[in-house]
Amino acid sequence: MNDKVYETTVIGGGSAGIMAALRSVLNNDETLFFPGNQKDKKKSRAMWVRKVENIPGFLDFKQGINNPNKQAYDYLSQEKYSHTFFPQKNIGITNIEKGEDGIFNLTDSSGNNWRTKYVILTTGMMDVQPFIENDIRAIFPFANSQAIEYCVRCDGHHTNDNEIAVIGHTSSAAWVAIMINERYKIPNLTIMTNGKTPEFDQETKELIELYQINVETKEIVDFLGDKKEGILEGFILDDGSIVHAQNAFVSLGVIVYNELALQLNAEVDKRGFVVTNEKGQSSIENFYIAGDLRAGIKKQIYTAWDSAVDSADDINAKIRRERRQKQLLEFREKKGDNN
Ligand SMILES: Cc1cc2nc3c(=O)[nH]c(=O)nc-3n(C[C@H](O)[C@H](O)[C@H](O)COP(=O)(O)OP(=O)(O)OC[C@H]3O[C@@H](n4cnc5c(N)ncnc54)[C@H](O)[C@@H]3O)c2cc1C
């Protein structure tokens, strides 16, 4: 066991994690950083994001999260930050508990133990993938080329004048289709439930009818288009019929990576996102949440940044307050001695 108690530990190296580390180091707080091992990284949203078009200055990056994050990581790895930045490259956290002394004890993916006063957890979430050809991987070439997308807020504008499909069977999927219809000119919009019974509420049912959105309930058995190049032309259904689409959005819900928060019994909402105050502190004192994992905020890069800054700055305020009180006490004692 390493007995040293670090000030702040950031768990996760996506948009929220790198911003939390950057802010914490620039605030001059000792920062231990676990960006995750290869397995953690593979299942993160950061890994899947290609071109980011909704943030100024990001358009030139091929991988809109990983490329700028690497830039920030390299910047923090300079000698001048070596006394504050302690990165544990390719390492994740598997266990967390809080001792009676208020210190968090962490176990990493290599089996090492660490101690820290504050934690910022940023492990995020992942979109549920559809099973096509009995395999979730079938969709990956199209996701990589951005023919198939997951975030209508980020990439809805790619739909202009195309035929569009939305894969999903709940009211959330219906709202994705409704939003696309209301924002962009869509000649042909289809919700594909992929063999599932639609679960649309009354309002979405009515809007689907009003906007003449097609609903296709047959199972998808294959893609139409060029799998190698990721060019989508449509979907082949189990009866051999075809739905033409040059773009599709997946709306099947998300898996929330809240395991470490649950180990501490932190409060989560009914979808599994971790509930926090406005600074990002969870129901566990000194345990903060930033990025997609935090309940009640948009699941976007700029909100990940903002929530990370909230958390790092609140921790810094606590650290400064503690130091200030200690110094004041010493100062008063010394002054008293001199009188
Ligand atoms: C296809 C796609 C396109 C998108 N496009 C945009 C866009 O254009 N603009 C936009 O604003 N938003 C976009 N988003 C949303 C954006 O990706 C997320 O809002 C953002 O990634 C959230 O950041 P995060 O740090 O919370 O989570 P993530 O980026 O998912 O990062 C999670 C991190 O946690 C790490 N991790 C997981 N478990 C552990 C563990 N046990 N220990 C240590 N580390 C761990 C992972 O390695 C990873 O580094 C898109 C999302 C998707 C899926």
For residue 307, give the CATH number of its domain.
3.50.50.60
Query: What backbone phi and psi angles, to 5 degrees, belong to 282?
Result: -80, -170
Q: What's at 333, amino acid-wise?
A: E
Domain match, 13 and 91 both: yes
CA of 18 to the centre of ligand 1 (A): 11
Q: What is the pTM of this model?
A: 0.94
| pLDDT confidence of residue 325 | 97
CA of 64 to the centre of ligand 1 (A): 11
213 lines ligand 1 (CB under 6 A): no
| pLDDT confidence of residue 237 | 96
CA distances from 141 to 136, 223, 224, 272 (A): 11, 11, 13, 29
246/158 Cα distance (integer angstroms): 10
**pLDDT tens series, the chain, 339 aa:** 568 999 999 999 999 999 999 999 999 999 999 999 999 999 999 988 989 999 999 999 999 999 999 999 999 999 999 999 999 999 999 999 999 999 999 999 999 999 999 999 999 999 998 888 788 888 989 998 989 999 988 898 888 778 999 999 999 999 999 999 999 878 899 999 999 999 999 999 999 999 999 999 999 999 999 999 999 999 999 999 999 999 999 999 999 999 999 999 999 999 999 999 999 999 999 999 999 999 999 999 999 999 999 999 999 999 999 999 999 999 999 998 776
| pLDDT confidence of residue 299 | 94
Number of domains the chain is built from: 2
| pLDDT confidence of residue 1 | 56
Q: Among 250, 285, 318, which residue terminates a domain?
A: 250
Domain match, 109 and 215 both: no
Helix axis angle for 15-26 and 66-76, nearest 10°, is: 20
3-class secondary-structure state, position 179:
helix
Domain match, 91 and 139 both: no
Domain containing 139 equals 129-250
* CA 131 to centroid of chain Cα atoms: 22
258 lines ligand 1 (CB under 6 A): no
SS (H, E, C) 12-51: CCCHHHHHHHHHHHHCCCCEEEECCCHHHHHCCHHHHCCC
CA of 60 to the centre of ligand 1 (A): 19
Domain match, 324 and 279 both: yes
Q: What angle do CA 215, 220, 226 make, to 5 degrees?
A: 115
* CA 288 to centroid of chain Cα atoms: 15
203/175 Cα distance (integer angstroms): 10
Domain match, 269 and 318 both: yes
Q: Among 250, 272, 297, which residue terminates a domain?
A: 250
Domain match, 202 and 225 both: yes
Domain match, 239 and 135 both: yes
The partner residues of 132 in beta bridges, in order of sequence, read 135
CA of 15 to the centre of ligand 1 (A): 6
156 lines ligand 1 (CB under 6 A): no
Domain match, 155 and 259 both: no
Domain match, 224 and 172 both: yes
Pseudo-torsion of CA 125, 129, 134, 139, nearest 10°? Answer: -120
**Residues sharing a CB contact under 8 Å with residue 330, sequence separation 6 or more, in sequence order:** none
Domain match, 181 and 240 both: yes
198/95 Cα distance (integer angstroms): 39
| pLDDT confidence of residue 40 | 96
Domain match, 139 and 205 both: yes
Domain match, 72 and 152 both: no
